[in-house]
Structure 1
């Protein structure tokens, strides 16, 4: 047997890396399922509201960066182990799609904002403000017939 091959097969570093790769590929399968669910949710949100959900856009972008980190580690492009052995990947800046979604949401919020109606409470009438009752006009006076008062309608 080749001494280099024997050394590589007995290396704990190789076997730990192989275990990490298997672990991260299982994580990639879970992340891929999450991306599928996010895509379906975005379709539903877009049908209902007319625009994508900004939080799901941001989470989907960070999940895509996580998958990229997993694939870089699994293919030996990077020696940095992805999350949970390092920080969760942050989305650097808003993507043009995310900016458009946020602008659409802000426009909808401004357009849907109800206008405020100010209702001032009525002030209680002061005794000086009360006008004395005026005499009833002839049409408002009751008619008296046979000793009984009747009023015209």
Structure 2
């Protein structure tokens, strides 16, 4: 009976290794897409003087997606990222600032 459990666990681990390899490839593609978003956002800022809201949301959710891949790949999560779970919802800028202090706030001792 123990060997059947060992075999099931080994098969489960092999399946996880497969998905880790797939998500590693997805990571590299998403990394390039995020780099393009960063460059486009910089161009919008330089040309129009303000950021593009759609690119802002895409960059936010793509960053969260990369974090999910990292969590799965490093065994911190058993949940596989998108398309097996929902795509991350962009976090509003005011929600992000309430969870972490900015460098200026930390320097001021806030």
Question: What is the TM-score normalised by the length of structure 2?
Answer: 0.75
Deviation at 1:70, TM superposition (A): 0.4
Alignment partner, residue 108 of structure 2 = none
Asked if 1:95 is matched to 2:93, the reply is yes
Deviation at 1:51, TM superposition (A): 0.8
Q: Measure the CA separation in 2 of the matches of 1:77 and 1:91.
A: 22
Larger radius of gyration: 1
* Aligned residue-pair number: 91
Deviation at 1:44, TM superposition (A): 1.0
The alignment partner of 2:36 has SS state of helix
Q: Measure the CA separation in 2 of the matches of 1:29 and 1:62.
A: 16
Deviation at 1:11, TM superposition (A): 1.6
Q: Measure the CA separation in 2 of the matches of 1:57 and 1:49.
A: 15
Deviation readout 1:54-77 (Å, 9 max, x if unpaired): 110011000001000000000000
Deviation at 1:91, TM superposition (A): 1.8
Alignment partner, residue 27 of structure 1 = 26
Q: Measure the CA separation in 1 of the matches of 2:48 and 2:38.
A: 15
Q: CA RMSD in A?
A: 2.1
Q: Measure the CA separation in 1 of the matches of 2:69 and 2:34.
A: 15
Asked if 1:77 is matched to 2:76, the reply is yes
Alignment partner, residue 100 of structure 2 = none
Deviation at 1:12, TM superposition (A): 1.0
Alignment partner, residue 53 of structure 2 = 54
Q: Measure the CA separation in 2 of the matches of 1:79 and 1:91.
A: 22
Deviation at 1:84, TM superposition (A): 0.6
Deviation at 1:43, TM superposition (A): 1.3
Alignment partner, residue 15 of structure 2 = 16
Structure 1 moving runs of 4+ over 2 Å: none
The alignment partner of 1:79 has SS state of coil
Superposition pairs of residues 39-50 of structure 1, within 5 angstroms: 39-50=38-49
